[in-house]
Amino acid sequence: MNEHSNTYVCIMAGGSGERFWPMSRRRTPKHLLKLFSERTLLEETVRRFEGVVPRANIFVLTNEAQLEPTRAALPMLAPDQIIAEPEKRDTAPAAALATGLVRARAKDGVMALLPADHLIKNTARLAEQLGAALARAAGTDALLTFAIKPSYPSPGFGYLEMGEELDRTPTLGVVRRAVRFVEKPDLPTAERYVAGGNHAWNAGMFIWRVSAFLDEAERHAPALAKFVREFPAGDPSAYLQARFGALPKTSVDYAVMEKAARVETILAEYDWDDVGMWTSLPPHLQQDAAGNAVKGAVLAENATRNIAISNGRVVALVGVKDLVVVETPDAVLVCHRDAVQDIKKLMPMLPKELQ
């Protein structure tokens, strides 16, 4: 790998920390938790790309509240590789910020824009496919994205409708035309998508040549294009403070990807889990014969299908089922498995120090 490569990885790491409360907080959301190993999800993400692009070409986009915890979690990156967005503006402004960062360093740069908090175990195949995707993006005006083969009909994900096959190689895998992006469907529609075989989950993983993205943004989101064109070399802090908040608060899917002339989708040949809530954890945790998924000091007697995590004190489950119990030094969550979507409703009720 050329240490002066013009390929870059930008990682979006600015989550709100609501779904994994009480372990996650505004300052330490899911990607800063050590849920599955002794590394945070963010560090796992950064390390899986170190063999794909030079370490110096990895940037992490976070927010002001999480800047110092993020830098502490990533001592292998220089401080200026971790950039704080002045305010939360969704993924279209994040895409413009990332593309501006890369363009200020390499006008012919090629980049991947990826989330910080996904769980991927087959990192070797991911690295291989991403390297091939960056090489493909360097030679095309198309915007590329990864498609995840659905393992079940989920109404919680956005979908990609895929068209004809465009290419197939051992390294890259199968490339198909992306016909359209689909918002989160209802369950019957999701079931139809999975049965039909021409829809895949949209994991929010994008690859493009800087100039290709800029051309599409010029046509469909001129405010983003202007922001990218005028992005300064050196420290961008003052520029971000002055300009970032004026960008449209919308997704990159809606602003650019859905309207782009050419979008190609690469079928992911690696495992993928967005571990979006507490009920996503059981496949990745130790489970007992009664289906209790546990981590830390947890005891269970006549208890079934519970998810229990201790961060210090003993959690004892007796005669209960289908609960989520999470212990931290300053808060304890007890929640039915079917109600995990409602944890975010607690936020306005919590004192500021517990949010």
Residue 37, pLDDT score: 87
Q: Are residues 184 and 326 both part of a single domain?
A: no
Q: Are residues 46 and 185 both part of a single domain?
A: yes
272 part of a folded domain: no
The range of the structural domain enclosing residue 83 comes to 7-267
Q: Are residues 218 and 326 both part of a single domain?
A: no
Strand-pair partners of 143: 263
Q: Are residues 150 and 206 both part of a single domain?
A: yes
Q: Are residues 198 and 68 both part of a single domain?
A: yes
Residue 1, pLDDT score: 52
Q: Are residues 207 and 350 both part of a single domain?
A: no
* pTM reported for the whole predicted model: 0.92
Residue 56, pLDDT score: 96
98 part of a folded domain: yes
Q: Are residues 292 and 255 both part of a single domain?
A: no
DSSP per-residue codes, 204-217? EEEEEEHHHHHHHH
Give the phi and the psi of residue 316 in degrees, each rounded to 5: -115, 125
Number of domains, the chain: 2
Q: Are residues 345 and 249 both part of a single domain?
A: no
Q: Are residues 203 and 328 both part of a single domain?
A: no
Residue 2, pLDDT score: 47
2 part of a folded domain: no
Strand-pair partners of 273: 119
Strand-pair partners of 112: 9, 207
Residue 222, pLDDT score: 97
Mean pLDDT by 10 residues, the chain (355 residues): 78 87 91 91 95 96 94 96 93 97 96 95 96 97 97 91 97 97 91 94 96 97 98 95 96 95 97 92 93 96 97 97 97 96 93 91
Q: Are residues 285 and 230 both part of a single domain?
A: no
Domain edge (last residue) among 245, 267, 289 = 267
Residue 39, pLDDT score: 93
Q: Are residues 236 and 186 both part of a single domain?
A: yes
1 part of a folded domain: no
Round to whole Å and give the CA distance between 79 and 68.
Answer: 9
The counts of H helices and E strands in the chain are 9, 16
Q: Are residues 262 and 339 both part of a single domain?
A: no
Pairing between β-strand 199-209 and β-strand 110-115 as defined by DSSP bridges:
antiparallel
Alpha helices for 154-229 (secondary structure H): 187-196, 210-220, 222-229
Positive or negative torsion for Cα 337, 34, 62, 172: negative
Domain edge (last residue) among 208, 234, 267 = 267
273 part of a folded domain: no
182 part of a folded domain: yes
